[in-house]
Amino acid sequence: MMVFRTKVVVSLFVVSLLATSVSLSSAPTLASASAAPSPTNDVAKHAFGYINTIRNYFFCVSAICKKNRASDEVASGKAMKALVAEARMLSTKVWPAKEEAIAIKFVTDVGALSNAYIAYPKETSAQAIARNTASIYYQSANVGSDTYLMTVALKGGPVKFPQWSVGAIAVLYAMQLDTQALNAKSATASDALYASQNLEREATILNADANGPNAQFNTLIKTFARTQLTVSTNAIALLEHKKVTLSNGALSALSTMLGQQFTQIVTLEKSLVKKK
């Protein structure tokens, strides 16, 4: 009995993500940045272009993209190598205090993106391909959010929620897709295990994304991630016939709570985007 199944929330929040599936907004100009040298300066100038090149290859469905598939693949590979080089450069530098946490997260997210990128052509199973595609989707968006925060730190001024939130929203989108797969009537035990493992990993990633400009939103996604991690960890143990730490009743209650928590995130996200 799959007591860990979660209520699926259908909303414009999820649908609106499709509009950002290819191109991320450009960062603010660095013209007014401090004259003091920073190891993140060049990264902030070029990373958006690299990210969009990668996303254009994997997620663009236009006739032009289909026509230029071969050249886009080559460009995407070059962009990925450039991002990895920038991350390696940052990992050897000492950052100004205001940029340190951002730079560390950039290095981490680029590493995760690179791992999925490298694994993608080597996988043969549909589940592994789907997992790596999802990772490329939300990790590239996370790198975009990191780059935006770098740029704001260099330029000064407030962090704007719509520009920052693309990373967290992309992870939430992936989590909703996995939740839908978990709740599908046709889902087998193998499907449920795969979806639960994905959700466990995505919950950990989402928790790290709680570095945005709105404290309430950060708290909500941390709470949601923590609940999802608890549900998924127990679900995996149940499916693998291992000891489960929570009772069926407690798991069922937490699964229902996930839907409620996601609704709260959606409501707040909509209001924050409207404010801009």
Q: How high is the pLDDT of residue 25?
A: 54
In a domain, 153, yes or no: yes
Per-residue pLDDT, averaged over 99-118, amounts to 93
In a domain, 31, yes or no: no
For residue 211, pLDDT over 50 is answered with yes
For residue 83, pLDDT over 80 is answered with yes
Q: How high is the pLDDT of residue 64?
A: 85
For residue 207, pLDDT over 70 is answered with yes
Q: How high is the pLDDT of residue 276?
A: 64
In a domain, 271, yes or no: yes
For residue 8, pLDDT over 60 is answered with no
Confidence class of residue 92 from pLDDT cuts 50, 70 and 90? confident
In a domain, 24, yes or no: no
For residue 38, pLDDT over 80 is answered with no
Q: How high is the pLDDT of residue 28?
A: 38
pTM: 0.85
Give the residue numbers spanning the domain of 75.
12-16+39-275
Mean pLDDT of the residues in the chain: 85
CB 24 within 8 A of CB 52: yes
Q: How high is the pLDDT of residue 74?
A: 95
Q: Quick one: which of 159, 123, 117, 157 has its CA closest to 136?
A: 117
Q: How high is the pLDDT of residue 178?
A: 94
Per-residue pLDDT, averaged over 234-248, amounts to 90
In a domain, 195, yes or no: yes
**Crossing angle between the packed helical segments 97-119 and 126-155, to the nearest 10 degrees:** 160
Classified as helix, coil or strand, 209 is: coil
Residues 6+ apart with CB under 8 A from 163: 25, 148
Query: Which of 22-36, 93-107, 164-178 tops mean pLDDT?
Result: 164-178
Confidence class of residue 203 from pLDDT cuts 50, 70 and 90? very high
Specify the number of domains making up the chain. 1
In a domain, 6, yes or no: no
pLDDT digits (tens, 9 = 90+) for 139-193: 999 999 999 998 898 888 899 999 999 999 999 999 999 999 998 889 899 999 9
Confidence class of residue 39 from pLDDT cuts 50, 70 and 90? low
Q: How high is the pLDDT of residue 115?
A: 96
pLDDT digits (tens, 9 = 90+) for 43-60: 878 899 999 999 999 998
Per-residue pLDDT, averaged over 103-112, amounts to 94
For residue 212, pLDDT over 90 is answered with yes
CB 193 within 8 A of CB 130: no
Chain Cα centroid distance, residue 241: 30
Residues 6+ apart with CB under 8 A from 268: 214, 216, 217, 220
Spatial distance between the Cα atoms of 196 and 132, rounded to a whole number of angstroms: 15
In a domain, 1, yes or no: no
Q: Quick one: which of 236, 242, 145 has its CA closest to 197?
A: 236
In a domain, 168, yes or no: yes
For residue 101, pLDDT over 50 is answered with yes
Per-residue pLDDT, averaged over 67-95, amounts to 91
DSSP the chain: --TT--PPPP-HHHHHGGGGSS-PPPPPP-TTS-SS--TTHHHHHHHHHHHHHHHHHHH--SHHHHHTHHHHHHHHHHHHHHHHHHHHHHHTSPPPHHHHHHHHHHHHHHHHHHHHHHHGGG--SHHHHHHHHHHHHHHHHHHHHHHHHHHHHHH-SPPPHHHHTHHHHHHHHHHHHHHHHHH-TT--HHHHHHHHHHHHHHHHHHHHT--SS-HHHHHHHHHHHHHHHHHHHHHHHHHTT---SS-HHHHHHHHHHHHHHHHHHHHHHHHHHHH-
